[in-house]
Structure 1
Amino acid sequence: MSNAIIYTRVSTDEQANKGFSLPHQKQVLEMFCQHKDISILKHFKEDFSAKNFDRPVFKEILTYIEANRKNIDYFYITRWDRFSRNVEEAYRIIREFREKGIEVNAVEQPLDFSQPDSKVMLAVYLVIPEVENDKNSIRTKEGLRRAMKEGCFVGLAPKGYINHRNPQGKSTLAFDETMAPLIRKAFLDYSKGILSAEEVRKKYYHKGLKISKNTMLNLLKNPVYCGKIYIKPWRKEEEVLVQGLHPAIIDEDTFDSVQRLLKGKQKAKIHKFSEIDEELPLRGYLECKSCGRALTGSASKGRNGKRHFYYHCQPKCKERYKADEVNALFENLLKEFVIKEDVKKLYKELLDETFNGEKKDRQLRIKQINRELETLNARMESIENKFLDDLIEASIFKTLKRKTQMKINDLKSEMTNIKSLDKNIEEYLKLGISFLHGIDRLYKTSPSNIKKKIVGSIFPEKLVFLENKYRTANLDPFISLIISKHAPFKRLKIKTPRQNDGVSMKAPPLGLEPRTL
């Protein structure tokens, strides 16, 4: 006696609209097997689309067949569209079953696979449901696009909204009264250009806006929050942005500002420096005399609870110095840098030449921007005329007008920034000269990040402490060129924690002698 497994399937739409009931299919299959004297080993039923074989129940069938292949002779369905609506995948599964000794057949559309002509009928039976499926897919997509062009929202509501139907019965969105205010605040915070997207996300995460980093970025890019609906390009239709039926959480100007920031125009993230950064500004710029590695630094707490900071090497190395005395030594060193009067005059001439050259480039760019604005304004007028003459649809008109207006706004913003750069040359000269004229005072009053930049700009190589001197190999060539002299470092003492007496730190003349201008 032969054995078979039977498979019944419907999709939700078919069950509701076409009456392909699972009990009816099962009854037909059982009657067929009874008539053919075939024993039914197992019945599998499924409510899932037949676009492919990645279906939950069909995966169970494959597992069952793998475990019981020797006992299975047939795999029966009522009709071939119950089996698959994908010709290529159907052929593959039928071939795999045949290799396992299992014949696949439909009891209402039976085929004799011993006859080569049956393959033609199999192709017909399989391709008809696939064609029907493709037609349904196209009709569905076209229907959704028509609804979206009318301002309907047809997908799952994004964060801050809930799915809703308006009084006319059209699918749209309504505010989520809990999330919408948080999202509005998040957009406004980010639009100021002070906080990064991740900082904004963290700020509102514990207030209820629990989303991931990527979701936050996608949220800020989604035009649905300014009342728009984005329609993807399809066939010969271009992408389009239409006005939605739903209310906006933020205004268009704020949304446009956010998009410009996301494209890379936002301000740099502000780094907060800790106490140890402020107390150890030379960390990473000092070199250990014993092993040549960069000295690090840390703090230790005294008996009175006060913290004491030290520059030191790795644990195996014994180099260790009090930070306040090392810092004071460096500040005294900076007092030796004085700018020459003749260099000041030459520096002013160089700045004047540089800024005048850049001014010409800026003036040329302003002329280019004016020409581009004329072109865009003419394009805007052309778009409006075509709309008035009914040559383009309202949705396309709004999209083209919006894109053109954004380009105009960006160019006007660029022109404003360029014009703001045309400052008095004396202001730049004063700033540049004051940097070197009072570099020791600037260093003392600056935060640690500025101090590190000053050290790095003056000394291209690390400073080295020896037992009786304090030296660096070379000054930066530009710094060496514009200072009048560099006297030998004064004899200064730095007490180490392991010594009672001070160690004399004498610096020899720097390796790079200054030129005379």
Structure 2
Amino acid sequence: MEVTMNKKVRAAIYIRVSTEEQHLNGLSLPAQKQALTEYALKNEYEITGYYADEGISARKSMRIRKELQRLLKDVQQDRIDMILVTKLDRWFRNIKDYQITQEILEAHHCCWKTIFESYDSSTANGQMVINIMLSVNQAESDRTSERIKAVFDYKRANGELISSRMLPYGYIAAKGHPQKDPETKDLVQDAFEQYFTSCSIRSVSRFLHDKYGNHAPSDSIIERFFKNEKYAGRCGANHSFCEPYITYDQFLLIQKLKEHHTHTGSHNDTYIFSSLIQCPVCRKHCTGFRRKYQRKDGGCSIYIRYRCSGKYNCHFGATPSEKQVEAYMISCIFPSIADSFHLTTRKKDAKSLARTKKSAESEMKRLNTLFLKGRLKEEEYEWQYQILEKSLSDDHALHSHADNCPDNWKSLYNSLDKAHKNAFWKSCIESIYINAETHQISGFCFL
């Protein structure tokens, strides 16, 4: 394809490097840009623009190469006569996408040129050579990817970082390994402590901005604190990726609390049972709202009530008041704990409970020994071990609630403000149920 030479050639510079190639070969966008710019100036081309796709493999679909898409739009608007690239593999390694792009270029009388290689797309023989080289580059790309993945797997197995960019806020890279950032670790720790006090990310954000001012991270970064399992020391299959800020059980609890989260009303009120009351029809959680009542003396009273968050698509119209729900929960919570967890018995028989735990652990060790000696089939071993494991887990879960309920808990509860009451209920209750027929609170379940 020939370019008319009676006017200055309008040249676009396209540069690309994948993440894998940066790690393996140290290829860089600045180096490509410098070489292409020098070539264009030497040949007195008019540089119309730079188009750089960073961290994207040429094997990927051309649709996700945003800068390539922008380049082709400019070609279709007849703004470009020639596209300059360093090598063919910077341009394409995918034969199908190359053919599509070539059709667009030919339709708009635009050619492309590699400055470190000699390719001629204007002849049939030249096109054949290009297709052969694209096939070779495609195969080489696959081999490169396999080598890089092997390197990454080795680093993961040895607890080494692949890239510092994978570290979240609150961590830094030190000699190839992640560690807590001395400058921000206190802030991150404060964020998690505040969350377990308020069970509200919005409250955490306000707290951090009040305490740290301009040094506090953005709300979007704060929100990611509670999504990223790396803060629990894990990264995929690696359960000891880094020093954790929270335990993995705490991380799972955060995810569970977030699933039930609903936004408060426009008045920014704190609703004690926000995201806890479940609609009996659609199973969505109810949100709090304010309702005004005109008194006979001319004054106005405001009551807090709850309604289904899917009110526009759900026909359940009951709106229980916050006072009614609170009275029910206060009257039921402690007897329920006493009945479910045998609180009085537990206090009297603490030694007996300890013996039970020790006995279960001893039995688990015995099962392990029998299995290793081949005296127990795998199915029988798994079945008995799971029973013992569940017994220990259930005992721990039941008595943890009892431990958190001192004898004077009701007076302590009444001294809390609404935000801390909400945090209290969220720390132990998963859902509160409403009877679909009577519209009364009918029960609840613990976390």
Give the alignment's TM-score, normalised by structure 1: 0.43
Select the structure of larger CA radius of gyration.
1
